[in-house]
Structure 1
Amino acid sequence: MNSRIGVLSDTHVNSLADAANLAELLLNGPFRGVDAILHAGDQVCPELESCFYPLPWYGVRGNMDMGRSDLPDWRIIDFAPWRIGLIHGWGAAAGIEKRVLTVFTDRDIDILVFGHSHQPLSQRQGKLLLFNPGSPTQRRGAPFHSVGVLHLGDVVHAEIIRLD
């Protein structure tokens, strides 16, 4: 089965209007036809999830979502046969990959999606794909605003999509 998964992180939207505008931009553009949405934390506006309804939504808590008891710190999502680890991350951008990997050391995952640094990244570490979609709203030193799409089929392909 082939799936396309929209991947977001560090949206930092502060209002329902901003959330709706971002969702409309993405659903009519890079996320058109996706099967689900992953959000790697710092959603900030809880209503963002509802703006992507009826798509399945999987999120985790970022450092800016600390009041959100409904979001786990990390999770594993199964899109058979692929297993995706989802976490926000913490600390400086340098070394974030090593820090988030420690949470999943003894867990069988194929893809590790994370955020926090606002720096887009798609790289293999052995059989594991590390993927950070960047941020669609705040570059913080990144070369551009971005989101991601995971293409899940016989093989996994991760695409970083530049928004500007």
Structure 2
Amino acid sequence: MPVSLVLISDTHVPKRARDLPHALWAAIEAADLVVHAGDWVDVALLDQLEDRSRRLLAVYGNNDHGPLRERLPEVARAVIEGIRFAVVHETGDRKGREIRCAARFPDTDVLVFGHSHIPWDTTAPSGLRLLNPGSPTDRRRQPHGTYVTAVADDGRLRDVAFHAVPPRR
């Protein structure tokens, strides 16, 4: 049975934004699984996501300390509809990322990562797909914030879409 996904990272709430955008909350509440690749900053957002999502797969990032590191792993793994997912915050420099991550995660089909705030969707020569949803709240050098929706279905990740977050008013 298809599983709808929302992929997010680098939310930095409340440091960069008071809350997640309304459209993202709507996507989270509609999804079967939310994947967060770290840099929450405040445990209150973790509590909210646990309450408002059906299922959460998440890790801590380099800006996460205390209760976030106590409650979340550095690397999370799950098999969803036959797809082997791994989630980690940092993957290092963009140069050589695909080869380096394929070596670090050999038994993984999809690696969700964050840290750079830069949307990323590539496939390593090994077949490992690397997805960085960017940041919905801190666009840095990007034209807008982003998050990703996708569907895991019978061993395939399909309908992968990067969503632009409108600027805050």
Output the TM-score relative to the length of structure 2: 0.81
| Aligned: 1:10 with 2:23 | no
1:110, distance to aligned residue in structure 2 (A): 1.1
* Matching residue's letter, 1:77: A
**Aligned mates of 2:65, 2:101 — CA distance in 1:** 18
* Corresponding residue of 2:108: 109
| Aligned: 1:35 with 2:36 | no
Secondary structure of the residue aligned to 2:48 is: helix
Secondary structure of the residue aligned to 1:63 is: coil
**Aligned mates of 2:100, 2:161 — CA distance in 1:** 23
**Aligned mates of 2:29, 2:114 — CA distance in 1:** 22
Distance verdict in 2 for CA 1:99–1:117, change over 3 Å: farther
1:128, distance to aligned residue in structure 2 (A): 2.0
Output the TM-score relative to the length of structure 1: 0.83
Residue pair 1:40, 1:88 contacting (<8 A) in 2 also:
yes
Distance verdict in 2 for CA 1:92–1:143, change over 3 Å: farther
Query: Which 5+ residue runs of structure 1 have no aligned equivalent?
Result: none
1:151, distance to aligned residue in structure 2 (A): 1.2
Distance verdict in 2 for CA 1:102–1:62, change over 3 Å: farther
* Corresponding residue of 2:164: 162
* Matching residue's letter, 2:153: G
Once the two structures are superposed, residues 49-107 of structure 1 have per-residue CA deviations (whole angstroms, 9 ceiling, x without a partner) of 222324211111100013322211112112131110100005445555555444313xx
Q: CA RMSD in A?
A: 2.2
Moved more, 82-91 or 35-44: 82-91
What are the residue-to-residue correspondences of 1:106-145 with 2, within 5 Å?
Answer: 108-126=107-125, 127-145=127-145
Moved more, 132-141 or 122-131: 122-131
* Matching residue's letter, 1:163: V
**Aligned mates of 1:76, 1:34 — CA distance in 2:** 18
Secondary structure of the residue aligned to 1:77 is: strand
1:156, distance to aligned residue in structure 2 (A): 0.9
